[in-house]
Every structure is written in C-alpha cells, then in structure tokens.
Amino acid sequence: MRSRLALLDRDGTINVEKNYVLDPADLELIPNAAAGIRRLRELGLKVAVVTNQSPIGRGLLTQDGLDGIHERLAALLEGEGARLDGIYVCPHAPGDGCRCRKPGLELLERAAADLGADLSRSFFIGDKRIDIECGRAAGATTILVATGYGPLQSFDPGRGPDARADDLLGAARFIESLVGDS
C-alpha cells in the first residue's frame, strides 16, 4: 500500500507570511509549525512542501537564493526536532502558463511519485484558497489554517476545506483524529 503524504504550503503555513521572503534571515517559523510537522511524521506520514515561488520568475530571487532560504527553513525545523521529506517549487510567475503552479497538480504528483504516496489518501494543508483548490483537485483531504491569509479566505458552498485549524499543530491533531497512531 502506498503511503500517506502531508503536503504543506510554505508561506503563511510554516513560516510567517511576509509577502515575499527574499533573504534567509527574513524566514521566521510560525509558532507550532515545527511541532505540527513532528506530529505528522510521528503519525507515519511523509511531509513535503509544495510552494509557488514567483519571485524567481519575477527576477526578484535566484534559484541559489531560494536554496539558501530552504536551507534556513530546514535548519530552523531541525532545531525544533522536525524534518521535511521534500520541497517542491514552482519558480514561475503567475502569467507564465506553467503546469506546476498551484492549483496545478504537477508538484503534488511529483511529490507523490518521489515519496511513494497516494494523493487520494493524503492531506493538503495551507492558508489560501488556492491551496484548498489544489488539494481538492488531487483528491486529498484539505485543511485551511488560520495563520497567514487563512482568516481572509472565503469559499463557495461545498468548495471549502474539509477542516479548519488554528495552525499546523491543530491540523496535525485533526489528521490524527482520522488516522490515529497507525
């Protein structure tokens, strides 16, 4: 049986939303983010980030710069006993017409293939409507966190998230209620 995967948006879900994080020093974890990731891993889920990073496509950030930001993210998480299994990035600007920009499914499919996961048994956690749309399109259970832009999101009836949580730890607790300690 293929494993379950927790797919996480980055900005506003794991780290504090700052419009664009362009320097590693600007990256700051949201309280309970590392604890949430630790709990997801304890539940036996693989954990991967799926993030649109248009500053690259806009010429505001280089791939090396983004790599430095993700190295800092990994170090901050590791400092709190948490670890990611992968980071999947769309570097394109919104108008580029790529298939990898959320709500497109290319990054999710790549993560699932790399990590041996079944998207229909997986979870997508984010703070924006686009995250919920992406997770729904993949057949994943979706959770909107109230960090970042979460409180500002509205949905048409029947198109909202499967659940809402205060933060990533709250999302992990909801997932635990579904999958238990297996």
- pLDDT exceeds 70 at position 69: yes
Q: What is the Cα–Cα distance from 71 to 166, expressed in whole angstroms?
A: 26
Q: Which CATH number fits the domain that encloses residue 170?
A: 3.40.50.1000
Give the domain extent around 27.
5-179
What's the whole-number mean pLDDT along residues 36-46?
A: 97
Q: Which of 9, 127, 131, 167 is catalytic?
A: 9
% pLDDT > 90, the chain: 90
SS3 (DSSP) at 176: helix
Domain count across the chain: 1
| pLDDT tens profile 137-150 | 999 999 999 999 99
Which band of pLDDT confidence, cut at 50, 70 and 90, is reported for residue 1?
Answer: low
pTM of model > 0.75 = yes
What are the angstrom distances between the C-alpha of 173 and each of 98, 110, 112, 117, 178?
34, 26, 22, 20, 9
Q: Give 116's pLDDT tier (boundaries 50, 70, 90).
A: very high
What's the confidence (pLDDT) of residue 156? 87
Q: What are the residues whose beta carbons fall under 8 Å from the beta carbon of 104, sequence distance 6 or more?
A: 90, 98, 134
Residues 92-112 as b or e (16 or more Cβ within 10 Å = b):
bbeeeeeebbbbbbebbeebb
Written as one letter, the residue type at 26 is D
- Residue 157 has a pLDDT of 85
The pLDDT score that the predictor gives to residue 80 is 98
User: Cα 52 to chain center, whole Å?
Assistant: 10
Known active-site residue 64: no
Nearest Cα residue to 34 out of 76, 88, 89, 93: 76
Res 103: pLDDT: 95
Checking if the pLDDT of 181 tops 60, the result is: no
70-81 residue pLDDT tens:
999 999 999 999
The tens digit of pLDDT for each residue in 13-38 reads 999 999 899 999 999 999 999 999 99
